[in-house]
Amino acid sequence: MKKTFTFCFLLISLHSFSQFTDGRLGITAGITNYSTKTDFLFSKSGIGYTLGVMGTAEFSDRSELFVEVNYTKHFVKFIGRENETAPPQDLKFNLQNVNIGFLFNYNYLVIDEYKLGVNAGPTFSFLYQYELVDDSKSEYVLDPLYASPNDLQFDTRNEQISFNTFLSIGLSAQYDFLMANLRYHYGLTDPYRNAPVVAIIDINGKDSFLSFTVTCFL
């Protein structure tokens, strides 16, 4: 319920922003590639998808502000075992986020309706909870410290909505009502600070992901 309420509130706020700034409002869809790096997990990068909306405020033909609200779902694999002596195998997890981005975009090349630009700014990520795909493996352990898959349910176990920050840098290509964006999102905060095992073991980590999206302006 809290995820649905949060996302709906953000969408309404973005619509109000586009109306107030007399900018454009568009629908965004794309793919992601997520990479997680932390002391207490062995992982593999995983693909995912993103859906959301974008509002813009145009300052000139070359400069504009992008404000985005996106729901993302990443498919990540961690190395785990049935028990500490069993052979290793890939355990599949889903990671869901609601991301809010504020990016300044500068179009360094403008030819008629064609625009090529660079953009950068912070992306604030809400919700951070890995969900095991196969519930029958909930008693497995995760390499290298044999943590439980339940230890990755940060929001549920802490009864809070996680908050993390990324620095997003990318390239944009626009033509008329369509825009494509390729971005790298570098993690600035440690999302594993809320993991239950932190109280037992001193751990840290940073995540990052690539995204390619297409926005269709209404």
Q: Who's near 80: CB < 8 A, 6+ residues apart?
A: 88, 89, 90, 91, 137, 140, 141, 142, 143, 149
Domain boundaries along the sequence of the chain: 2-217
Q: Which of 21, 17, 54 is closest to 218 using CA atoms?
A: 54
In the prediction, which pLDDT does 20 show?
A: 53
Phi-psi region of 95 (alpha: psi -120 to 50; beta: other; left: phi over 0): beta
In the prediction, which pLDDT does 55 show?
A: 92
In the prediction, which pLDDT does 44 show?
A: 83
Token pair 């440690």: residue? 190
pLDDT (mean) for 3-18: 55
User: 2-217 maps to which CATH number?
Assistant: 2.40.160
pTM of the prediction? 0.85
**Token representation of residue 31:** 């793919």
Phi, psi of 62 (to 5 degrees): -110, -15
145, pLDDT greater than 90: no
pLDDT tens digit sequence for 44-53: 888 999 999 9
More confident call, 19 vs 50: 50
**Could you tell me if 95 and 128 are in contact, meaning their C-beta atoms sit under 8 angstroms apart?**
yes
Token pair 């145009």: residue? 58
**Could you tell me if 56 and 20 are in contact, meaning their C-beta atoms sit under 8 angstroms apart?**
no
Phi, psi of 197 (to 5 degrees): -75, -10
CA 155 to chain CA centroid, Å, is 16
pLDDT band with cut points at 50, 70 and 90 for residue 151: confident
pLDDT band with cut points at 50, 70 and 90 for residue 185: very high
120, pLDDT greater than 80: yes
Cα 208 to Cα 102: distance, rounded to the nearest angstrom: 17
**Could you tell me if 154 and 125 are in contact, meaning their C-beta atoms sit under 8 angstroms apart?**
no
Most distant CA pair in the chain, distance = 64
More confident call, 88 vs 19: 88
pLDDT (mean) for 125-138: 88
For the chain, the average pLDDT equals: 86
pLDDT (mean) for 124-146: 89
In the prediction, which pLDDT does 218 show?
A: 87
pLDDT tens digit sequence for 54-79: 999 988 888 999 999 999 999 999 99
In the prediction, which pLDDT does 162 show?
A: 82
Gyration radius (Cα) of the chain, Å: 19
More confident call, 126 vs 156: 126
Q: Which residue blocks in the chain are alpha helix, DSSP H?
A: 2-20, 154-158
- How many Cβ atoms from other residues are within 10 Å of residue 116's Cβ? 13
pLDDT band with cut points at 50, 70 and 90 for residue 23: confident
In the prediction, which pLDDT does 157 show?
A: 67
